[in-house]
Amino acid sequence: MTRKYRTSKGGHTQVQSYVKRSSELWRYALEAHEHGHFDACAVNAIHSCISLADAACIAHGGSRYSGTSHDEAVQYFHDLHISDENFKRACRRFGQMIGEKTTAEYGERNLSQKEAESIYKNGERFREYLFSTILSGFRPI
């Protein structure tokens, strides 16, 4: 049974737009990381990776997930069905970051340095994988 998702179609222009957005957010995550602003680092890293996942989905399959479920967004990315162990790792990293999204944005406490570092590292590795594979024709701005 094929899973039905709410999606939006896109092309080269949309991929470029999501890559640009992701790059801008990543710059702020990096700056926050350098200054020890752990919540800002995590939130910007997570949103940067969401934009990059959208770009990768469009580049690979012509559409991105446009629903509201975080879990479905990760599953939609996973459903690109790329047979590569590194892709499976990227899916796990994306899932871990998305799993921290609500806590990072709305949690009743601030993130620790360790928590922010974990999100940042997962984001860094996720970005490296996508720019070396699915988005190899697109460069961060």
pLDDT (tens digit per residue) in 53-105: 999 999 999 999 999 999 999 999 999 989 999 999 999 999 999 999 999 99
Local structure of 37: helix, strand or coil: coil
Q: At 15, which amino acid appears?
A: V
Residue 2's pLDDT is 61
Confirm whether 3 is domain-assigned: no
Residue 1's pLDDT is 45
Confirm whether 40 is domain-assigned: yes
Mean pLDDT of 100-118: 95
Check: CB of residue 64 under 8 Å from CB of residue 90: no
> Is 136 a residue whose pLDDT tops 60?
yes
> Is 128 a residue whose pLDDT tops 80?
yes
Q: What is the CATH number of the domain that holds 61?
A: 1.20.120.330
DSSP annotation string for 40-66: HHHHHHHHHHHHHHHHHHHHHHSEEE-
Q: Which of 136, 132, 111 is nearest to 32 (CA)?
A: 111
| Average pLDDT along the chain | 95
> Is 111 a residue whose pLDDT tops 60?
yes
Confirm whether 64 is domain-assigned: yes
Residue range of the domain that includes 90 = 11-132
Check: CB of residue 40 under 8 Å from CB of residue 47: no
Residue 81's pLDDT is 85
Mean pLDDT of 39-58: 98
Handedness of CA 93, 96, 98, 101 (dihedral sign): negative
Mean pLDDT of 38-43: 98
Confirm whether 42 is domain-assigned: yes
Whole-angstrom distance, CA of residue 59 vs CA of residue 111: 33
Tally of domains within the chain: 1
